[in-house]
Amino acid sequence: MKNNLLTSAFILGMIVLYSIPAKSQDLDALLEKESKPLTTYATATFKSTRIVNGHSVERMKKKQLEFRVSHRFGELNTGSYNFWGIDQGTIHLALEYGLTDWLEIGIGRSTYEKTADAFAKVSILRQSAGEKNMPIQLSYLSSTEIIGLNTNPAMQQNFSSRMSFVNQILIARKFNESLSLQLTPTYIHRNLVPTELDRNDLFALGIGGRYKITKRMAFNVEYFYVYRDNAITLPVTYYNPLSVGIDIETGGHVFQIMLTNSTAMREGGFIGKTTGGWSNAGIHLGFNISRVFSFNK
Amino acid sequence: MNKLILLFAFALVFVNAGAQNRFFTKDAKINFNSSTPLEDIIAESNQATTFIDIEKNEVAFSVLTTSFKFRRALMEEHFNENYMESAKFPKAKFTGKIVSPIDWKSEKAVVVDVNGELTMHGATKQVTLKAMITPGKTKVTATAELKVTPEDFKIAIPSAVRDKIAKEVTIKIDAVYAPYQQ
């Protein structure tokens, strides 16, 4: 009997304990409990699809089309006769489109070596925190460039010698609302190189970053270390491209204004053939303008 | 001993009764419109979590600001990055009380006044809105509309785009509730 009483008291105690939270929980607490598990994805790691010259992990989302106009003035050290470079201009035009949220394709045309290019950028990993945790964003870029110049007889005989192929893995992390960094291992194969001494295969490592100054303005730096074991033997002195820039965002446009030692705006050009040096003022003032159009609905 | 069993049964009934006072859904729709002749700005989320307590006549909503989908990806990015600052303030919330009389047994649509607090972008404001509620035993539906101004929630809009964004933003809510089982 005594045992029975104890058991009953225990059960009663359990019931009381069970029913107390049910009664005292207000709607606020219930909302917290039932709100979906939070996985937040990092967005806008960079303001634009380029950090300065090179690709960032950003892409056009599905059915969004970007029209890009990139322009580099001449070299600063060309003096007053050339108005410190302003008299010259190199232009790159591009149309880039998001087939899906994770795949972007694009075509471009540059006055630099009359180059045409086409690329695809695939997002493989997305940075997220919470329920699903992923510390980095990872994308792959594949690009083909075709030089259109008619001054090289070898290129006129054989079309394939105009082509070069760019492969990049873009690894980025948005550390906080202001700071994002990116590593860009790069492999470029060039079917034809300027001299016998140049390597057909070129390896480079890009380092890029952005720091947001205000909500709509950011400071960018981009550097590519190009591995050239035979640099001393080459007839031309090549430099590693270093660029600093500012992004200004106004609604549907992003303006990028930069100083860079590269003339070209495609990987094959600015990684493979940068001949200006910061040390001798071989730098260019330049800008990129990006306009996005939406084809949704 | 018999008394104890009686108590036990009573407690069970009591717990069950408590559970049926609340209706809830995890996929209520919220859309807002701040279009101007210059720009169409429309976004929708269908991931709002909401409760109605029919005993206390209370309602509560919560929605992740990143769950709003726009026609233009860039607009969505700006909404989260520049205006709502979703990384800092991930949720928008409303808690309120139905102040007009409502008969939860009638199963007939009725328009009621709701008073409550709307919190977003880290700022809280008292709001009053009209809602149409259709009570039911297994299903409660509710629609509501309210107007807010971005300035009330400390959302800064630069002068360059001020003309493109409506001064008053219309928010519409559409929810279908089911009984909440704990």
- Tens digit of pLDDT for each residue in B104-146? 998 899 999 999 999 999 999 999 999 999 999 899 999 999 9
CB contact under 8 A, A15 and B12: yes
Confidence class of residue A7 from pLDDT cuts 50, 70 and 90? low
Residues 6+ apart with CB under 8 A from A164: A144, A145, A147, A188, A189, A190, A191, A268, A272
pLDDT digits (tens, 9 = 90+) for A101-116: 999 999 999 999 999 9
- Rounded Cα–Cα distance for residues A203 and A226 (Å): 6
The residue among A289, A220, A217, A226 whose CA lies nearest residue A259 is A220
Contacts of A252 in chain B (CB under 8 A): 72, 74
The residue segments making up the domain with residue B168 are: 19-179
Residue B14: inside a domain: no
Q: Which pLDDT does position A6 carry in this prediction?
A: 66
- CATH number for the domain that contains residue B116: 2.40.128.110
Pick the CATH number of A39-294 from 3.40.50.170, 1.10.10.10, 3.40.50.300, 2.40.160.40: 2.40.160.40
Nearest residue, CB atoms, B11 vs list A19, A31, A297: A19
Q: Give the number of beta-carbon pairs within 8 Å between A and B.
A: 107
CB contact under 8 A, B95 and A61: no
Interval B60-89 mean pLDDT:
92
The residue among B34, B4, B70 whose CA lies nearest residue B157 is B34
CB contact under 8 A, B93 and A31: yes
Residue B5: inside a domain: no
pLDDT digits (tens, 9 = 90+) for A142-201: 999 999 999 888 888 999 999 999 999 999 999 999 999 999 999 999 999 988 899 999
Nearest residue, CB atoms, A294 vs list B53, B59, B72: B72
Confidence class of residue A130 from pLDDT cuts 50, 70 and 90? confident
Q: Which pLDDT does position A36 carry in this prediction?
A: 63
Q: Which pLDDT does position A58 carry in this prediction?
A: 96
CB contact under 8 A, B73 and A294: yes
The total of structural domains in chain B comes to: 1
Q: Tell me which of B15 and A94 has the higher pLDDT.
A: A94
Comparing alpha-carbon positions, the chain B residue that sits nearest to A43 is B77
Residue B156: inside a domain: yes
CB contact under 8 A, A27 and B95: yes
Q: State the complex-level ipTM.
A: 0.77
pLDDT at position A20 over 80? no
Residue B137: inside a domain: yes
